[in-house]
Structure 1
Amino acid sequence: MILSDSITRRSLRLLHAINILHQRGFQNLAIYPYMPRCGLYWQLTLLPLQSLYKSQKNELAYYSFGKLLEAYHSSEFSGNEYFGWADCKSYSAEQLADAIENRLPELMAFCKANNSTYVGWFNSMLTFARAGALPVAFREYSEPPKNGMLSTLKNVVIPLPNVPASLSIRGKDYIRRNYCSTEWRTTDWHEAYHSIIDSIVDCTNIALPKLPEKTSEIFDFGAYWEGAIYWLHQHMNISTFADYLTFLNSPGRFASGAFFMQSFNDQGQLQYLTAFFAKRQIIANRLSSDEEKLYWTQWLKTFELHAKSSYLAEIPNPYFGGDNSLHLGLGLPEAQTRPSYLIFP
């Protein structure tokens, strides 16, 4: 896998340009380096750090955020037509950093962040690259090392960056990530997760929704929980509170139940949606018996006692903050076809 000195030098120039961009504040700008089976040239995809994850095979892998948030470089020919930009052949690392910043505006805007952890790894990786060992996350028919990635020098192993490990669901890799408003296909946050949920259920999307960060906007939380309701209603045909309880008791009976639970209960957050549904049933007197009403009244008292001290209660959620403070259910069809567990007037 040893490359020519000129290819290695020109590839290193690109890595130095990325390092300069990190210094300018684009610290979520990440790389996925790889080689074809022949091993004659080095390739790199420039992408957001959030795309990267560690697969079940312990390899660095990535999930595509779309073409606008990726750029591809190959050293197949002279090695200095960076990303196919023929006019950049003689650019210095500083000039190349300028070109990347100016010509990839969507990617750069997405990667503007402070991330000392990734920058630290990148600087460490550069010490290997300066010695001629360019990182190689994947090469066809090559087994990855146990604790790192291959390089372009034999027997030199480069540590992996600190990225999330994938989940294995039905033998396939999945990841969790936040979906930000810039990715939504609609301006109505009530419907923001519809296409996301559809693609997960259709098995064309491996990125499961992650509970928004504490610093997120309230509509990010509303969109997340609206996505949960849409999934229950649209893809699991759950239209009553009894249906919902059946699902909770045996999510595996539903085709996409495992995906739903990984998306909306990985931190125990689904109990806030359950409490929201239960309270609306009690208020509307929709429970089937006095015994059931007593059970859920007591359940809510216990829930409130314990949940209020949880950090999950400190962020916008379906239960605390007033009567339907997130305005859930408005992303579903007209009122007459909405599921009864929402109980809208």
Structure 2
Amino acid sequence: MTGSSAPEIRRSQRVIRMVCELHRLGYQRLRVMPYFYPLAYRVAIGAAEHFSDRNGAYSARLHEVAYAGYTSASGNRYFGWEDARDDTARQLAEKFILRFPDVASSGEGRDWAYAGWLAELMGVLERQEALPFVIEEYHPTPPEQLDHLPLWRPDGVTGRFELPPTPAIARDARSPLLTPPGR
């Protein structure tokens, strides 16, 4: 199956897929922190440098730094945007760059390991109609003690996916991004 029938899952996956599109556009240093907060599923998007070296899908610093956040409570008004209700992941990515310029510019550069990991995770999420999370109200393991990324499905079945490469790996492998002519 290539997409969930549940609107909340489909829309939340679209936001994660939008980050895959941002990676394709040269913003591979952007990461997602997916989590459940009472009454909604959320995806925080920020620069790799703000994510944990223990769990590369978690940031304890999001309240301190520039990031963008999506909540499933906003439905298809992604990031509160009234003009994005029918947007594709690519269209959302293009708007994201314009509307969150500080977050986008902080994510410019290469991180092939993370971009590949996120693309693989996206395929699993779509096949399993699942959502990943690092925080959930009743989950017993704190984010920095996770040894895998839990996957939630509405049928109650939970899955798991390996944790992403840490930002430290990306810092060690940092290379300049080639800028295409005219940019």
TM-score range normalised by the length of the shorter chain = 0.7 to 0.9
Whether the aligned pair in 2 keeps the contact of 1:59 and 1:149 (CA below 8 Å) is no
Q: Say yes or no: does 1:128 pair with 2:131.
A: no
Cα distance in 1, alignment partners of residues 133 and 30 from structure 2: 17
Q: CA deviation at 1:64?
A: 3.4
Cα distance in 2, alignment partners of residues 150 and 25 from structure 1: 28
Counterpart in the other structure of 2:165: 162
**Could you say if the C-alpha distance between residues 47 and 146 of structure 1 is closer, same or farther in structure 2, counting changes exceeding 3 Å?**
closer
Counterpart in the other structure of 2:134: 137
Q: CA deviation at 1:143?
A: 2.1
Counterpart in the other structure of 2:30: 29
Cα distance in 1, alignment partners of residues 47 and 77 from structure 2: 22
State the secondary structure of the residue aligned to 2:161: coil
Deviations 1:187-215 (Å, cap 9, x if unpaired)? xxxxxxxxxxxxxxxxxxxxxxxxxx9x9
Aligned Cα RMSD in Å? 2.8
1:63-78 alignment runs, 5 A limit = 63-64=61-62, 66-67=64-65, 69-77=66-74
Whether the aligned pair in 2 keeps the contact of 1:135 and 1:150 (CA below 8 Å) is yes
Q: Say yes or no: does 1:107 pair with 2:110.
A: no
Unaligned runs of 5+ in 1: 166-177, 179-212, 216-345
Cα distance in 2, alignment partners of residues 114 and 30 from structure 1: 12
- With normalisation by structure 1, the TM-score equals 0.42
Unaligned runs of 5+ in 2: 176-183
Whether the aligned pair in 1 keeps the contact of 2:44 and 2:68 (CA below 8 Å) is yes
Larger Rg: 1
* Structure with greater helix share of residues: 1
Q: Say yes or no: does 1:48 pair with 2:47.
A: yes
Identity %: 26
**Could you say if the C-alpha distance between residues 33 and 95 of structure 1 is closer, same or farther in structure 2, counting changes exceeding 3 Å?**
same
State the secondary structure of the residue aligned to 1:25: coil
Which residue of the other structure, out of 65, 90, 97, is the alignment partner of 2:93?
97
State the secondary structure of the residue aligned to 1:143: coil
* Paired positions, count: 161
Runs of 4+ in 1 over 3 A off after TM superposition: 64-67
* Structure with greater strand share of residues: 2
Which residue of the other structure, out of 97, 105, 119, is the alignment partner of 2:115?
119
